[in-house]
């Protein structure tokens, strides 16, 4: 089973990947980061997307939905932002965050690859 650094490097191998992070959504802290750029601060994005996850989980609870989130997609004009909560026992409270450039990314393949990374990660 890959550790966090290997998982993030694997995520960066996805076509169009600009940055990846493993995030604790309770604190908003990025536990690990790969990639990024001057105009893509993954530390700030980690904190902001933690709010997204917590808001969605609260909404699902209020609606009485007994479901799990596979992933959350935010589509921007030039980028995809994928948020994938970890479902394994050791990953509770964590999510993988992946930023892709739309011009190079295949969204379906990226989601599939991120799911494989999530299933194999050992934290």
Instruction: Give pLDDT tens digits for 6-27.
Output: 999 999 999 999 999 999 999 9
Looking up tokens 């980061």, which residue turns up? 33
3-state class (DSSP) for residue 52: helix
Which among 56, 80, 59, 58 has a CA at the least distance from the CA of 70?
56
Average pLDDT of the residues in 21-43: 93
Split at pLDDT 50, 70, 90, the class of 2 is low
Q: Cα(49)–Cα(72) distance, rounded to whole angstroms?
A: 10
pLDDT on residue 89: 64
Q: SS3 for 60?
A: helix
Domains of the chain: total: 1
| 95 pLDDT tier (thresholds 50, 70, 90) | very high
In the predicted model, is pLDDT for residue 29 greater than 90? yes
In whole angstroms, what is the distance from residue 121 CA to residue 56 CA?
A: 23
- For 36, the domain range is 4-120
Output the domain CATH number for residue 92: 3.30.450.30
């Amino acid at each position: 089973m890959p550790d966090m650094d290997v998982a993030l490097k694997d995520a960066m191998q996805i076509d169009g990947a600009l940055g990846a992070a493993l995030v604790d959504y309770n604190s908003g802290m990025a536990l690990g980061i790969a990639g990024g750029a001057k105009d893509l601060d993954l530390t700030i994005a980690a904190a902001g997307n933690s709010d997204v996850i917590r808001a969605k989980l609260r909404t699902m609870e209020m609606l009485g939905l007994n479901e799990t989130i596979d992933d959350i997609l935010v589509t921007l004009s030039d980028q995809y932002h994928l948020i994938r909560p970890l479902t394994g026992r050791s990953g509770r409270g964590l999510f993988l965050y992946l930023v892709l450039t739309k011009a190079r990314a295949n969204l379906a393949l990226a989601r599939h690859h991120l799911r494989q990374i999530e299933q194999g990660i050992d934290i």
